[in-house]
Amino acid sequence: MTLKTPHINRRSVLLGASALPLSAALASPALAAADMMGVGSTRFNRMKLGNFEVTTLLVGTRTVEGPHNIFGLNASDEDFASASAQANIPTDKAQFFFTPTVVNTGSELVLFDTGLNPDSITGALKAAGYSPDQIDTVVITHMHGDHIGGVAGENGVTFPNARHVTGAVEFDAWSKTDGNKAFEAKLRPNAERFDMIDDGASVASGITAVAAFGHTPGHMTYRLESEGKQLHLAADFANHYVWSLARPDWEVKFDMDKSAAAQTRRRMLDMMAADKIPFVGYHMPWPAVGYVETKDDAFQYVPASYQLMM
């Protein structure tokens, strides 16, 4: 059997197009405008570290004006502008990120810091597949409001089944100081729920406290180790990947003891760069995971790619 291919010429194509109803022509995707959706991001990022699963949670992000009023307080306008230009970031505003972390050891679910408020942390946990009642341990690295805001709310504690852990030096310092509204509202009323620990304490198998004082009186970081692999939960040792991490001697408004904070930054950056240990920084660009490399007499931040997916 022979099939005949119909002859198609330019005239037949034009006639066919003219026969289409006007509604079909107007429905063409090329003519339909899409709604502006706004800037968006995921709420969680899950990684593998040996036998651990490590999940960073984005509980909030906001644009802040005038970053030189916060970072590089001892740097000239010219130096601040130069460092910003090298990193291709503006000098008039910065984007802040707030990133608690969940570690699943296989036997315990450990949450590090609780974000800005109960709703933001429980929302991010839900997006990641967890519920507040699954959290076995809540670890507070330090007691600034953006780290303890989710500890409790109007309905009581957010994580009713969890033991709560924090540094003894940090708790004692804030308990003797006036002015920390978040501490008074969230932690002091729930002090009996907290276990106090010191440098070198084990929070869970493979999770060790590491003192990193300066940002606050008892600021703590945590080293994760599983199957020979390490990752550092570095909290607020550096608050910006350029103006704080890459310039460790630049003073930061939020550091309570600026000299001690700078010494802590250099010590931690030296360690992570030498040992090639990845870290989670609470305020690093989302998803808040990266490495440190030496550069001249300072450092530079290198975002993680797929190293922690395998």
221-260: pLDDT as tens digits: 999 999 999 999 999 999 999 999 999 999 999 999 999 9
Spatial distance between the Cα atoms of 18 and 253, rounded to a whole number of angstroms: 68
Does the pLDDT at position 189 exceed 80?
yes
Spatial distance between the Cα atoms of 196 and 306, rounded to a whole number of angstroms: 36
Residue 30: pLDDT band (50, 70, 90) is: low
pTM assigned to the model:
0.89
Q: Phi first, then psi: give them for residue 212, nearest 5 degrees.
A: -145, 60
Provide CB contacts within 8 A for 290, sequence distance 6+: 241, 278, 279, 281, 284, 301, 302, 303, 304
Give, in order, the Cα–Cα distances in Å from 233 to each of 32, 207, 225, 255: 47, 10, 11, 18
pLDDT at position 9 is: 52
pLDDT at position 297 is: 86
pLDDT at position 13 is: 42
Does the pLDDT at position 14 exceed 50?
no
